[in-house]
Amino acid sequence: MGNSHRVDGRAPVHGFYASSSWIEGAAVRQLEAVAAISGVCAVAGMPDLHPGKFGPVGCAILADHIHPAFVGSDAGCGMALFALDIASRRLRIDKAADRLRDVAKPYDGDIAGELAMHGLAPSDFDAALGTIGGGNHFCELQAVEEVFDPNCGIDRDRAYLLVHSGSRGLGHQLLERQVADGLRPLATDSAAGQAYLQAHDHALRWASRNRQVIAQRAAAALRCEADPVCECSHNCVVHRADGVLHRKGAAPSDQGLVVVPGSRGALSYLVAPLATAPKEALWSIAHGAGRKFDRSSMMGRVGATRSDRERLARNPFGGSVICEDRALLVEEAPEAYKPIAGVIGDLEAFGLARVVASFRPLVTVKKIANERPRREDRR
DNA sequence: ATGTTC
């Protein structure tokens, strides 16, 4: 079981990380502060734990109310893995990268039709459907590095696509409205609680559809098809018999296979969560490597010269990074993240998951430069 | 994280 501690009357805090793992003190203090909040029943910290704006990222929180702050500003954000019907050895990195630039452009498909087909009501933010977004979001072409479980369904010859994106403006608006309202906990049976859950569910379905459309666009750019392998959200809340379970940067352990991505310069792991996991883990596992360094400190760590940028545009596997936003290129450098091997090692050591396959990054798509508006279009 | 610079 995880290392645990309990201070008078506060909810128990269980950390599922080794003492040697890189966990910031500030993140642990945030975790303890969450446990001290009235109505919080239990808190689980994952090995990718790091400090966040409204509380720690990389944790699961069981409470007697809905806490919108615990879900954060990107409800529905998550990972989706797709198998491509193309052999990874047939891919040429630079040609694939050139084609995948399309995914970083606005989507010009039939968004209204796409949403209607899947029973999603229109919103003010639908124009962003099919686009990656900013921050840590990405669309990554991958090759299989290793298959550990021959029955996991992963074909070592194929290329795969990993999409990390969320609900864009929808989730942002969802939290903004709660902030305007005092960011209070909501009773599940209250009108405000029900309204939150309804909007939250819409954001989750929109985010899932967003990842699917991004994958379809990437597959179309590569002249192939994408078949879903697994998908989950790591920013969400679920009302269960035992309480309200919040996941803030935590993947579910009760919904099948989960991808735990490393940084864009590291392997990503497909894991099978274990049914025998301790209940203190709150039906959750890590959602990624977790940040090691604050965004604002990264410029000083990786440098800003042309050669620094050229280095950051490649990965250690000979792969390529499409990120024409210089600040983002630096903020999301591989060095900003914890080593994924340690996170996976902790998941295994604490009996939360077993690894079934690993993937290496070939092309990571983030952002392309804004097209400069034509003179006659400017005011 | 953010139709992020209305």
Can you give the pLDDT at residue A375?
55
Distance in Å, residue A360 CA to nucleotide B4 C1': 31
Q: Report whether pLDDT(A379) > 60.
A: no
Closest-approach nucleotide to residue A136, Cα vs C1': B1
CATH code for the domain in which residue A307 is found: 3.90.1860.10
In this structure, the number of other CB atoms found within 10 A of the CB of residue A136 comes to 23
Q: Report whether pLDDT(A376) > 90.
A: no
Q: Report whether pLDDT(A373) > 70.
A: no
Q: Report whether pLDDT(A56) > 90.
A: yes
Find the farthest-apart pair of alpha carbons in chain A and give their distance in angstroms, rounded: 67
Closest-approach nucleotide to residue A169, Cα vs C1': B2
Subset of residues 286-315 in chain A with CB less than 7 angstroms from any atom in strand B: none
Averaged over A276-285, what is the pLDDT? 98
Q: Note the strand B nucleotides within 7 A of protein beta carbons.
A: 1-4
Can you give the pLDDT at residue A133?
98
Can you give the pLDDT at residue A212?
98
Residue A309's H or E segment, with its range, is helix A306-312
Q: What is the dihedral of CA A348, A58, A281, A273, to 10 degrees?
A: -50
Overall domain count for chain A: 1
Per DSSP (E only), the strands in chain A are: 3-5, 13-15, 40-50, 57-63, 78-87, 138-147, 158-165, 226-233, 235-240, 243-248, 250-252, 258-260, 268-273, 284-286, 320-323, 353-367
What confidence tens digit (pLDDT) does each residue in A192-233 have? 999 999 999 999 999 999 999 999 999 999 999 999 999 999
In this structure, the number of other CB atoms found within 10 A of the CB of residue A122 comes to 10
Nucleic acid strand B within 7 Å of A172 CB: yes
What confidence tens digit (pLDDT) does each residue in A143-179 have? 999 999 999 999 999 999 999 999 999 999 999 999 9
Q: Which amino acid is at A222?
A: L
Write down the catalytic residue from A14, A65, A202, A287: A287
Nucleic acid strand B within 7 Å of A133 CB: yes
Which band of pLDDT confidence, cut at 50, 70 and 90, is reported for residue A3?
Answer: confident
Distance in Å, residue A375 CA to nucleotide B6 C1': 21
Q: Quote the domain boundaries for residue A290.
A: 3-378
Distance in Å, residue A126 CA to nucleotide B2 C1': 14
**Taking the C1' atom of B4, which residue's CA lies nearest?**
A134
Can you give the pLDDT at residue A374?
56
Averaged over A59-73, what is the pLDDT? 98
Closest-approach nucleotide to residue A235, Cα vs C1': B1
Averaged over A276-295, what is the pLDDT? 97
Nucleic acid strand B within 7 Å of A137 CB: yes
Which band of pLDDT confidence, cut at 50, 70 and 90, is reported for residue A7?
Answer: low
Helix (H, G, I), strand (E, B) or coil at A230: strand
Distance in Å, residue A55 CA to nucleotide B3 C1': 27
Can you give the pLDDT at residue A21?
94
Does A287 qualify as catalytic in the annotation? yes
Confirm if A171 and A203 have CB atoms less than 8 A apart.
yes
Nucleic acid strand B within 7 Å of A125 CB: yes
Distance in Å, residue A326 CA to nucleotide B4 C1': 15
Mean pLDDT of chain A: 96
Which band of pLDDT confidence, cut at 50, 70 and 90, is reported for residue A4?
Answer: confident
Closest-approach nucleotide to residue A125, Cα vs C1': B3
Closest-approach nucleotide to residue A370, Cα vs C1': B5
In this structure, the number of other CB atoms found within 10 A of the CB of residue A276 comes to 7
Confirm if A8 and A1 have CB atoms less than 8 A apart.
no
Can you give the pLDDT at residue A371?
72
CA distance A17 to A99: 40
Q: Report whether pLDDT(A249) > 80.
A: yes
Nucleic acid strand B within 7 Å of A166 CB: yes
What confidence tens digit (pLDDT) does each residue in A92-128 have? 999 999 999 999 999 999 999 999 999 999 999 999 9
Averaged over A295-320, what is the pLDDT? 96
Nucleic acid strand B within 7 Å of A134 CB: yes
Q: What is the pTM of this model?
A: 0.96
Closest-approach nucleotide to residue A126, Cα vs C1': B3
Report the candidate in A41, A73, A71, A43 with the shortest Cα–Cα distance to residue A59.
A43
Its sign, for the CA torsion A60, A255, A77, A342, is positive
Can you give the pLDDT at residue A370?
83
Distance in Å, residue A261 CA to nucleotide B4 C1': 25
Distance in Å, residue A369 CA to nucleotide B2 C1': 18
